[in-house]
């Protein structure tokens, strides 16, 4: 299966436009890109490929490259190569060397600058777009705040040359254009999703206004390669093209199919958004906790089949349901932990903080919803993260994880099977402060696991150490490896002996959860089944966060599917729990949890209902067209076989009697002579086009050459046509012709069977097409209950409407200064 998928990828890289390889994390996209790079060079489609990969796996990539192509001439960047004193020399080597491929890290790629002229040209274009947007907003008498916001963006763009393309980070070296690169491969491309966009939309969630310098840099380089190669110079690889929001698809399209966006008038975000999405109102709890109020978000997406059809022009989507890869079965376990009295009290305090923030009693720079959410996550993990002087809870999450890790370690001691522990919060520090990593390690050592069998990914701070660490895990020398999604996610290939994975906390993004799972549910794992443990502290944010993330993942899976997506769907973007969610979780309001569960159920039923309708329409097509046509075709073939069988019977052939064969106007009474005449006729063909050969047993013979199978063929033409492949044996060819004529009875029986099957299927389809959707009642009831809950949760809306008045310009400013906010 992997060979076929990789072959498809080569074909698209070789023949098509820019490409995004959107494969599941356990499919080795590195092999696909390596093979595509080498095949493109071999076929003369490119001269020099640059492969950009996460910093920590450059050496791993070079190893995989040479494993596939041992004689390849590749250049691999090390940390030393991009030190200031060595960078010029290394870039000069890229420019002057005749390499099959150059492999560098993400941060190193960013340090190779575009020419000042190209940077200036791009910023001038963005300023022009902003001037147009400002003029249009003024003409349409748009809000004064929107115009001011656009003016501010214009001012920032005017200094963007020094900000976004900060030359202090880039030496005066060879520019990207001078390297001779004409094919660019970006591994883990989702790291470049924060790309600046210009929009007149105001204060709308789901639109990230954050920009990473590396993303702007990549856009310039992809647009340069589009000009150079005619839109076929860039290949992205990512298991998560949509990791947090559908807006990320627009970003991917800007990188890979900017020309298509321009042709369709969708190059500006507002045009794209109006075609495929709209702002919707989501609920938030009112300050009193008695009702909910509106929050505007860019979250609803329409015309998804058209959007996905456009995206698939550049995307090679390979989902788990398409691949059927040999991966272990995952058994999921949710370990529910009772909160301590300390945790319960502090959860109530979070609700009070949320209320003060909602009432604007605190400066957003001092306290905000993201801080409340993060404190809630820390509290759910371990109360000592909020205050290290608090006591260790012997029944807490870390203790429960330690018990499971030890039990599995002991159970599989003989086979030396291994385990991974993921925790994004509270990573190890060398300053003696409390952290979950050291606490869990101490608990495991106390239970009896040798210290040398426990490792932190953070201690492997060089490529060599990381390679050594992974090798030890694969051999079972280190049996418990702990790390964060960032450091132990993509590129961590230690699956050989993995038997269990422990999620101590819940990451924000579905892609992070998928990356974690992809470490163990992966090709190369020798275990038929693996255990996934998720630890949830009851009454805290944990269970809701998992529900939220899994709901996001279901939506993303439904979009990135091999099947036709639904016409419209909600988006999945969130970075902090809303006031409503925090208040509901802290006060124990069951309605929001019920609403969340109902939304998941209704979405699932909606997909099933759409699938039921698709099947119904497909059956209607079969009833009206396919089955009647099949019945007609089989009846015609039955009649034809009967006629041809009668013709063959009138001209019998056996061992003692050879019916004369006419070839080229000459009758041959001897089998050997006739066989020789056929071979001579084959040799005398001057083109593969069919020619009349002669006549045998009442059938006209037509000779042809099949260019694909490289063989000569004779077609016996009667009521039907019967093709026979020829060999080099003079007697054997006559026998093959006779065998074809003697098989008519067998073929007739086969047609009669297919005719009966078609009739049976037609009757079955007629009975099936009118069957109602089996979960119709459940769908109707749950949709009605969801509608009822939305009304209940929005009660008193009029009383709180004033709180939702458009915020002043000043209200918006602190939000952009909130530290640590990342989408």
CB atoms within 10 A of CB 584: 24
> Distance between CA 455 and CA 473 in Å, rounded?
9
pLDDT for residue 631: 93
Residue carrying the six token digits 């124990």: 588
Q: How far is CA 711 from CA 306, 434, 724, in A?
A: 44, 76, 10
The continuous run of DSSP H or E covering 298 comes out as strand 292-301
- 257 close to 18: Cβ distance less than 8 angstroms: yes
The structure tokens listed for 336 are 């529910």
Residue carrying the six token digits 């426990």: 454
CA–chain centroid gap for 190, Å, is: 10
CATH number, span 326-342+392-536: 3.40.50.300
The structure tokens listed for 107 are 């941060």
- 602 close to 776: Cβ distance less than 8 angstroms: no
- 535 close to 401: Cβ distance less than 8 angstroms: yes
Could you tell me which residues come within 8 angstroms of residue 553 by beta carbon, excluding any fewer than 6 positions away? 510, 513, 514
Which backbone phi and psi does 294 adopt, to 5 degrees? -85, 150
> Distance between CA 371 and CA 375 in Å, rounded?
6
Residue carrying the six token digits 């069957």: 771
> Distance between CA 634 and CA 642 in Å, rounded?
12
pLDDT for residue 299: 56
The structure tokens listed for 234 are 């860039």
> Distance between CA 666 and CA 586 in Å, rounded?
99
Q: How far is CA 682 from CA 639, 673, 712, 713, in A?
A: 32, 14, 7, 9
> Distance between CA 604 and CA 613 in Å, rounded?
14
pLDDT digits (tens, 9 = 90+) for 456-511: 988 887 777 888 888 999 999 999 999 988 888 777 788 888 899 999 988 877 77
The continuous run of DSSP H or E covering 800 comes out as helix 797-800
Positive or negative, the CA dihedral 478, 482, 487, 493 is: positive
Q: Which among 589, 543, 508, 544 is positioned nearest to 285, based on CA atoms?
A: 589
> Distance between CA 9 and CA 598 in Å, rounded?
40
The torsion angle over the Cα atoms of residues 640, 644, 645 and 650, rounded to 10 degrees, is 150
Which backbone phi and psi does 654 adopt, to 5 degrees? -150, -175
pLDDT for residue 279: 64
- 383 close to 453: Cβ distance less than 8 angstroms: no
> Distance between CA 162 and CA 707 in Å, rounded?
62
Could you tell me which residues come within 8 angstroms of residue 341 by beta carbon, excluding any fewer than 6 positions away? none
487-505 burial, b for 16+ CB within 10 Å, e for fewer? Answer: bbbbbbbbbbbbbbbbbbb
CA–chain centroid gap for 43, Å, is: 29
> Distance between CA 38 and CA 36 in Å, rounded?
6
Q: At what angle do helices 341-358 and 369-381 cross, to 10 degrees?
A: 170
The structure tokens listed for 306 are 């058209």
The sheet with strand 666-668 has its strands ordered as: 666-668, 661-663, 691-696, 699-706, 711-717, 721-725
> Distance between CA 466 and CA 471 in Å, rounded?
9
- Tell me, letter by letter, the H, E, C secondary structure of 571-607: CCCCCCCCHHHHHHHHHCCHHHHHHHHHHHHHHHHHH
Q: How far is CA 170 from CA 42, 50, 57, 191, in A?
A: 33, 18, 23, 20
Positive or negative, the CA dihedral 75, 81, 82, 88 is: negative
Q: Which among 513, 507, 514, 508 is positioned nearest to 576, based on CA atoms?
A: 508
The sheet with strand 49-53 has its strands ordered as: 74-76, 101-105, 49-53, 183-187, 234-237, 19-23, 315-318
Q: How far is CA 287 from CA 247, 579, 586, 800, in A?
A: 30, 9, 14, 9
Beta bridge partners, 22, equal 317
Which backbone phi and psi does 136 adopt, to 5 degrees? -65, -40
| Half-sphere CA count of 795, side-chain side, radius 13 A | 9
- 476 close to 416: Cβ distance less than 8 angstroms: yes
The continuous run of DSSP H or E covering 10 comes out as helix 2-15
> Distance between CA 783 and CA 785 in Å, rounded?
5
CB atoms within 10 A of CB 773: 16
> Distance between CA 396 and CA 453 in Å, rounded?
24
End-to-end Cα, the chain, rounded Å: 35
Residue ranges covered by each domain of the chain: 117-164, 326-342+392-536, 646-731
Residue carrying the six token digits 């991974």: 420
> ∠708-713-714 over CA atoms, to 5°?
155
> Distance between CA 345 and CA 341 in Å, rounded?
6
Beta bridge partners, 547, equal none
Q: At what angle do helices 2-15 and 29-42 cross, to 10 degrees?
A: 40
Residues in the chain where the model's pLDDT stays below 70:
1-16, 23-28, 137, 140-146, 149-150, 160-173, 200-211, 243-246, 278-300, 319-324, 543-544, 547-548, 550-590, 592-593, 596, 600, 793-823
For 86, the 3-state DSSP assignment is helix
The structure tokens listed for 555 are 């939506």
> ∠595-600-604 over CA atoms, to 5°?
140
């Amino acid at each position: 299966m992997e060979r076929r998928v990789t072959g498809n990828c080569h074909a698209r890289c070789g023949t098509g436009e820019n490409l995004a390889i959107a494969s599941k994390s356990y499919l080795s996209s590195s092999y696909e890109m390596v093979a595509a790079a080498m095949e493109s060079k071999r076929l003369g489609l490119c001269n020099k490929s640059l492969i950009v990969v996460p910093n920590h796996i450059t050496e791993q990539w070079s190893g995989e490259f040479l494993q596939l192509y041992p004689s390849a001439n590749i250049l691999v960047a090390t940390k030393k190569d991009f030190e200031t004193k060595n960078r010029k020399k290394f870039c000069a080597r890229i420019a002057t060397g005749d390499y099959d491929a150059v492999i560098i890290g993400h941060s190193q790629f960013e340090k190779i600058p575009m020419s000042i002229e190209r940077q200036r040209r791009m910023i001038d274009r963005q300023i022009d777009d902003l001037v147009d947007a400002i003029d249009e907003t003024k003409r349409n008498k748009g809000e004064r705040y929107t115009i001011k916001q656009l003016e501010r963006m214009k001012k920032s763009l005017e200094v963007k040359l020094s900000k976004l393309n900060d030359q202090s980070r880039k030496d005066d070296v060879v520019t990207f254009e001078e390297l001779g690169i004409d094919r660019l491969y970006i591994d883990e491309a989702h790291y470049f999703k924060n790309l600046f966009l210009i929009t007149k939309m105001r204060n709308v969630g789901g639109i990230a206004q954050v920009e990473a310098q590396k993303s702007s840099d990549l856009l310039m380089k992809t647009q340069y390669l589009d000009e150079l190669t005619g839109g076929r110079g860039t290949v992205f690889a990512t298991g998560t093209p949509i990791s947090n929001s559908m807006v990320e698809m627009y970003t991917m399209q800007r990188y890979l199919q900017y020309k298509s966006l321009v042709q369709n008038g969708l190059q500006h975000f507002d045009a794209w958004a109006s075609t495929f999405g709209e702002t919707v109102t989501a609920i938030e709890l009112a300050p009193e906790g008695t009702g909910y109020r509106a929050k505007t978000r860019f979250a609803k997406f329409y015309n998804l089949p058209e959007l996905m059809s456009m995206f698939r022009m550049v995307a090679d989507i390979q989902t788990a349901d398409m691949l059927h890869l040999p991966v272990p079965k995952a058994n999921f376990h949710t370990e529910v932990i009772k909160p301590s009295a300390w945790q319960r009290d502090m959860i109530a305090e979070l609700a009070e903080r949320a209320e003060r923030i909602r009432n604007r009693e605190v400066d957003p720079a001092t306290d905000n919803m993201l801080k409340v959410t993060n404190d809630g996550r820390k509290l759910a993990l371990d109360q000592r993260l909020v205050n290290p002087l608090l006591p260790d809870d012997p029944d807490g999450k870390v203790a429960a994880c330690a018990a499971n890790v030890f039990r599995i370690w002991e159970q599989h001691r003989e086979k030396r099977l291994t385990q991974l522990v993921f925790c994004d919060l509270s990573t190890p520090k060398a300053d003696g402060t409390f952290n979950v990593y050291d606490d869990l390690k101490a608990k495991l050592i106390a239970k009896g696991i040798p210290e040398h069998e426990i490792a932190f990914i953070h201690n492997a701070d060089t490529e060599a150490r990381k390679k050594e660490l992974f090798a030890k895990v694969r051999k079972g020398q280190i049996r418990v490896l702990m790390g964060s999604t960032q450091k132990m996610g993509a590129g961590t290939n230690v699956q050989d002996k993995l038997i269990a994975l422990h999620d101590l906390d819940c990451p924000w993004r579905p892609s992070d959860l998928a990356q974690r799972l992809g470490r163990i549910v992966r090709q190369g794992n020798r275990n038929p089944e693996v255990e996934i443990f998720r630890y949830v502290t009851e009454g805290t944010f944990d269970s809701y966060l998992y529900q939220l993330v899994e709901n996001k993942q279901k939506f993303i899976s439904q979009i990135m599917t091999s099947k036709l997506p639904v016409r419209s769907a909600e988006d999945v973007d969130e970075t902090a729990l809303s006031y409503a969610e925090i208040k509901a979780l802290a006060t124990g309001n069951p309605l929001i949890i019920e609403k969340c569960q109902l939304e998941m159920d209704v979405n699932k039923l909606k997909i099933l209902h759409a699938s039921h309708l698709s099947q119904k329409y497909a059956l209607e097509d079969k009833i009206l067209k396919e089955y009647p046509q099949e019945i007609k075709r089989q009846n015609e073939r039955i009649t034809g076989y009967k006629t041809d069988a009668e013709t063959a019977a009138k001209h019998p052939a056996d061992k003692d009697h050879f019916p004369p064969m006419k070839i080229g106007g000459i009758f041959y009474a001897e089998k050997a002579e006739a066989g020789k005449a056929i071979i001579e006729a084959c040799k005398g063909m001057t083109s593969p086009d069919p020619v009349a050969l002669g006549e045998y047993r009442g059938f006209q013979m037509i000779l042809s050459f099949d260019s694909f199978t490289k063989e000569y063929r004779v077609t016996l033409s009667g009521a039907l046509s019967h093709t026979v492949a020829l060999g080099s044996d003079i007697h054997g060819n006559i026998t093959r012709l006779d065998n074809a004529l003697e098989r008519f009875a067998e073929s007739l029986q086969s047609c009669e069977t297919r005719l009966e099957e078609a009739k049976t299927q037609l009757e079955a389809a007629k009975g099936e097409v009118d069957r109602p959707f089996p979960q119709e009642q459940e769908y109707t009831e749950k949709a009605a209950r969801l509608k009822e809950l939305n009304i209940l949760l929005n009660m008193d809306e009029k009383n709180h409407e004033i709180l939702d008045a458009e915020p002043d310009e000043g209200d918006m400013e602190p939000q952009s200064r909130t530290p640590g906010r990342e989408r």
